[in-house]
Amino acid sequence: MTMPFYVAPEQVMKDRAEYAQKGIARGRSLVATTYADGILIVAENPSRSLHKVSEIYDRIAFAGVGKYNEFDQLRVAGIRHADTKGFAFSREDVDARSLANLYAQFLGTVFTHEMKPLEVEILVAELGSDGRQDQLYHVAYEGTITDEDRFAVLGGDAESLAERFGQSFQDGWTLAAALGACRRTLEGPDRRLGAQDLEVAILGRGDARRAFRRINGTELAHLLSDDADDTDGADASGEEPSAAASAPPPDAPGEGDPAPG
């Protein structure tokens, strides 16, 4: 008679968490931040058709990192839930908080009861209206939901990226400045990311009912170049050069000296 195989519940949860974290770490990160005219979401994603950032409802956006097929199923389920709720009740009743709670319950149930957890982290963003603040909800693989204040970073190296981005964050900054900070955060000190490497979308304030809009092509390249120009201008101190700096080099002839033959 064989003895039953026993594993402590704490060890099971630990193994599942490590499994999900390794899967998420293999993916590329994304950064979401508030700016003067809305919410900006930037993801490192060279694919032009497999989107990591999408629209859920009028003023609500979805973003995911990790396994694409898993978080894309969550995106589709969120769209169906929002459409059904908006049709049965009112469009104003569809909000990011209830949607994030729904995602958190589902991820928590899968993490606790299924053998394999979902290797995803998701972000639900809502543009504030009628005096309400912008909302950023970060939902982790085990169902933990976090209400982020000014920005959110998702991905394998989220802690170091969040620290790097927090040093450059500014309240009320422009779209170009926010986009440049997001790009520098994602690329790090030893890489360069161009417009073809980024997926960019915004929830922009305006009179239109739908606030979601993708930024790509020439518009994205123009915004990145504007930020590069602003960064170069900020590097210039504007101070007069010192006497040592303005003096001619030792081998150069001074004023009035004969030129070397």
Query: pLDDT category, 2, cuts 50, 70, 90?
Result: low
- Give the separation between CA 162 and CA 167, rounded to whole angstroms: 9
Phi, psi of 57 (to 5 degrees): -150, -165
- Give the separation between CA 165 and CA 28, rounded to whole angstroms: 16
Q: Per DSSP, what are the bridge partners of residue 236? A: none
| Domain parsing of the chain, residue ranges | 29-228
* 223, containing H or E segment: helix 217-235
What local confidence, expressed as pLDDT, does residue 234 receive? 55
Query: pLDDT category, 241, cuts 50, 70, 90?
Result: very low
pLDDT digits (tens, 9 = 90+) for 71-110: 999 999 999 999 999 999 999 999 999 999 999 999 999 9
Amino acid at 47: S
Query: pLDDT category, 258, cuts 50, 70, 90?
Result: very low
Residue ranges in 31-95 assigned as alpha helix (H)? 68-88
CATH 3.60.20.10 fits 29-228, yes or no: yes
For residue 25, pLDDT over 80 is answered with: yes
Average of per-residue pLDDT values in the chain: 87
What local confidence, expressed as pLDDT, does residue 253 receive? 45
Query: pLDDT category, 4, cuts 50, 70, 90?
Result: low
Query: pLDDT category, 132, cuts 50, 70, 90?
Result: confident
DSSP 92: G
Lowest-pLDDT choice from 58-62, 69-73, 126-130:
126-130
pTM comes to: 0.84
Amino acid at 243: A
